[in-house]
């Protein structure tokens, strides 16, 4: 299976994922906005067996933002890398952390009801007001 490499800004943390996300979409929730420092956060979800660290696993810091979601980031450069869902064990990889180009592109927007007020969504992708049950 084709794989994609990802890393943080300073390069201390490197990981590899399968180029086969279960879904790829843009999250507009206020928490992703804070964590990413951006208008919204594009992410691709996959199960844990499709994720592996190449280096820096011991460097990664985790922030449990809720019982359902833990966020992973680099303590040196501050890059947000991925989240882990406690119920499914699924990893949501921040697309911006990837060094390679994934085959898939974002196909939907979630939490559009809480999108950044200054942002205008100009594409035709599916928009969900909140978080759909299927994700």
Instruction: Return residues touching Zn ion (CB under 5 A).
Output: 8, 10, 12, 27, 29, 32, 74, 76-77
User: How far apart are CB 118 and Zn ion at their closest, in Å?
Assistant: 17
Residue closer to Zn ion, measured from CB, 29 or 95: 29
**To the nearest 10°, the Cα dihedral for 96, 27, 131, 7?**
20
User: How far apart are CB 16 and Zn ion at their closest, in Å?
Assistant: 16
User: How far apart are CB 1 and Zn ion at their closest, in Å?
Assistant: 27
Residue closer to Zn ion, measured from CB, 34 or 105: 34
Residue by residue, DSSP assigns 36-51 as: HTSS-EEEEEE-GGGE
Helix (H, G, I), strand (E, B) or coil at 85: strand
- Strands 108-110, 3-7: pairing is unpaired
Residue closer to Zn ion, measured from CB, 2 or 46: 46
Residue closer to Zn ion, measured from CB, 32 or 71: 32
**8 A C-beta contact, residue 93 and residue 17:** yes
Q: CA quadruple 105, 108, 111, 117: dihedral positive or negative? A: positive
User: How far apart are CB 48 and Zn ion at their closest, in Å?
Assistant: 20
């Amino acid at each position: 299976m084709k794989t994609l490499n990802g890393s943080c800004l300073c390069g201390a943390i490197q990981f590899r994922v399968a180029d086969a996300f279960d879904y790829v979409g843009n999250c507009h929730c206020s928490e992703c906005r804070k964590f990413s420092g951006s208008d919204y956060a594009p992410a691709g979800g996959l199960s844990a067996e499709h994720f592996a660290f190449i280096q820096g696993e011991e460097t990664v810091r985790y922030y449990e933002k809720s019982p359902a979601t833990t966020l992973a980031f680099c303590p040196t450069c501050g890059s947000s890398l991925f989240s882990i869902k406690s119920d499914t064990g699924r990893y949501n990889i921040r697309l911006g952390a990837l060094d390679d180009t994934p085959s898939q592109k974002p196909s939907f927007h979630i939490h559009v009801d809480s999108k950044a007020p200054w942002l205008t969504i100009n594409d035709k992708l599916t928009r969900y007001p909140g978080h759909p049950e299927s994700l």
